[in-house]
Amino acid sequence: GDGAAAGSYGYTNSGYSVYEEENDRLTESLRTKVSAIKSLSIEIGTEVKNQNKMLSEMENDFDSAGGLLGATMGRLRTLSRGSQTKLLCYMMLFSLFVFFVIYWIIKLR
């Protein structure tokens, strides 16, 4: 009787040990995966911070370029208005000159 009980206790104890080892192995595997996910999430966070910083710098660069482009367009508008005024003055002077030349030709006839 005692030998059979001791034998079955040893079998149960050895089965428990196998399950315990399996649990330890799975726990260690899970710990390794969690550690890998943690380091990956930290790297992703660092990359996101770097990308946000780069986007902010690009936004500032685009804002300054937009301001420069706006100022340049304003200067071009002013320049084009001025050149239209000059062109209009030249056309008026040319028209007056042609008018006086035609008047002088008619007067001489």
C-alpha distances (whole Å) from 92 to each of 19, 79, 85, 86, 104 are 105, 20, 10, 10, 18
For residue range 16-49, what is the model confidence (pLDDT) as tens digits? 788 899 999 999 999 999 999 999 999 999 999 9
Confidence of residue 1 (pLDDT cuts 50, 70, 90): very low
Compute the distance between CA of residue 75 and CA of residue 67 in angstroms, rounded to an integer: 12
- pTM (predicted TM-score): 0.47
CA–CA separation, 66 vs 60, rounded Å?
10
- Name the residue ranges covered by the structural domains of the chain: 13-82
